[in-house]
């Protein structure tokens, strides 16, 4: 079974929820499987909730309250867990991003939010929400910048990013913003924060042509994949599907430019943006 002994309950609402499930389960002398049987789910699911890899649902929270006799404790905590600064379809993936040991990402059109500068993020948000009030745009930008804090942790995840050349060539926010964004990427790569590759136009059709992909692995839980489309996203945890996603990512990585050649291309593009 999954163990949550090393999880910091203060790291997120989901982590606190999971720590409380574990604490009260152990007080009742129940195993993860034993509690799962009582609340009509698997012991593995209970274990994943305890380490904040899976998000609890409202109906499960009510059943936990009944079985563990908490007086509505988990129902109240559920609303705290459900509250998020991110888009609803991405909220769970954002939480997992902060807990991952490794993150592999393929970006087909835009720099991943984890690596965006403030000006680049603002341009992306404003393009998607042209009629949104300034306060809403500011909140969305702040949420994206907050994600980057995971890279400053002493135990930051190992991050591998493949950008399609489209990302480098599309001038999001204008040439100055784009030059700054590309320089930000090369600075992070130079500091050892990530391994960066560019998948060039010359590669043609490739295994990741269907869209964006996140792959995340964890110390005490199975890997997951996250795929995203317009205003929607899906977190995938079926081992066979995650393995297929990993295979597609590996094929894309094989036809991408080397890290050194990728940085050279990005640096050259940054200079072009800066001087045109």
| Segment 40-63, tens digit of pLDDT | 998 988 988 888 877 788 899 999
Identical fold between 9-82 and 91-275: no
More confident residue, 14 or 91: 14
DSSP 10: G
Average pLDDT, the chain: 89
Is pLDDT at 243 greater than 70 in this prediction?
A: yes
pLDDT in tens, 186-223: 999 999 999 999 999 999 999 998 889 999 999 878 89
Domain 91-275 annotated CATH 3.30.870: yes
Judge contact between 176 and 118, C-beta under 8 A.
Answer: no
Mean pLDDT over 2-12 rounds to 61
Domain positions in the chain are 9-82, 91-275
Is pLDDT at 39 greater than 90 in this prediction?
A: yes
Q: CA 265, CA 273: separation in Å to the nearest integer?
A: 12
As a whole number of Å, the end-to-end CA separation of the chain is: 58
Whether the full predicted model's pTM is greater than 0.85, yes or no, is no
Domain 9-82 annotated CATH 1.10.260.40: yes
> Among 126-140, 157-171, 219-233, which stretch is predicted with the lowest mean pLDDT?
219-233
pLDDT recorded at residue 2: 41
Q: CA 50, CA 21: separation in Å to the nearest integer?
A: 6
More confident residue, 156 or 119: 119
72: left (phi over 0), alpha (psi -120 to 50) or beta: left
pLDDT in tens, 114-137: 999 999 999 999 999 999 999 989
Nearest to 41 by CA among 27, 52, 54: 54
Phi, psi of 214 (to 5 degrees): -110, 135
pLDDT recorded at residue 86: 66
DSSP 9: G
pLDDT recorded at residue 58: 87
Q: Quickly list H helices, the chain.
A: 13-27, 32-39, 43-50, 58-68, 73-82, 91-97, 118-128, 134-147, 165-169, 175-190, 239-255, 259-275
pLDDT in tens, 82-108: 666 666 667 777 778 888 899 999 999
Distances (CA, A) of 159 to 131, 146, 269: 34, 17, 22
Helix 58-68 / helix 13-27 crossing angle, nearest 10 deg: 30
pLDDT recorded at residue 186: 96
Percent of the chain with pLDDT over 70: 93
CA 110 vs. chain centroid, Å, equals 15
Percent of the chain with pLDDT over 90: 64
Mean pLDDT over 32-37 rounds to 94
């Amino acid at each position: 079974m999954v163990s949550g002994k090393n999880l910091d309950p203060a790291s997120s609402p989901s982590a606190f929820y999971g720590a409380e499930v574990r604490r009260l389960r152990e007080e009742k002398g129940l195993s993860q499987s034993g509690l799962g049987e009582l609340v009509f789910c698997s012991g593995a699911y209970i274990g994943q909730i305890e380490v904040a890899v899976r998000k609890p649902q409202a109906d499960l929270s009510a059943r936990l309250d009944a079985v563990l006799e908490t007086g509505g404790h988990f129902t109240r905590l559920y609303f705290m867990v459900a509250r998020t600064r991110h888009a609803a379809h991405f909220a769970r993936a954002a939480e997992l991003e902060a807990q991952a040991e490794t993150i592999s990402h393929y970006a087909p059109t835009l720099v991943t939010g984890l690596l965006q500068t403030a000006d680049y993020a603002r341009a992306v948000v404003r393009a998607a929400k042209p009629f949104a009030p300034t306060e809403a745009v500011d909140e969305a930008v702040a949420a994206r910048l907050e994600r980057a804090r995971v890279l400053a942790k002493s135990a930051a995840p190992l991050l591998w990013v493949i950008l399609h050349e489209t990302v480098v060539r599309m001038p999001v926010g204008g040439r100055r913003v784009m030059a700054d964004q590309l320089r930000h990427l090369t600075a992070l790569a130079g500091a050892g924060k990530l391994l960066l590759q560019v998948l060039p136009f010359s590669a043609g059709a490739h295994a990741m042509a269907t869209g964006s992909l996140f792959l995340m692995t964890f110390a005490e839980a199975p890997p997951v994949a996250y795929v995203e489309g317009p205003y929607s996203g899906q977190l995938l945890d079926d081992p066979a599907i995650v393995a297929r996603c990993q295979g597609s990512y590996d094929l894309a990585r094989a036809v991408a430019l080397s890290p050194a050649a990728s940085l050279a291309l990005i640096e050259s593009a940054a200079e072009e943006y800066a001087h045109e």
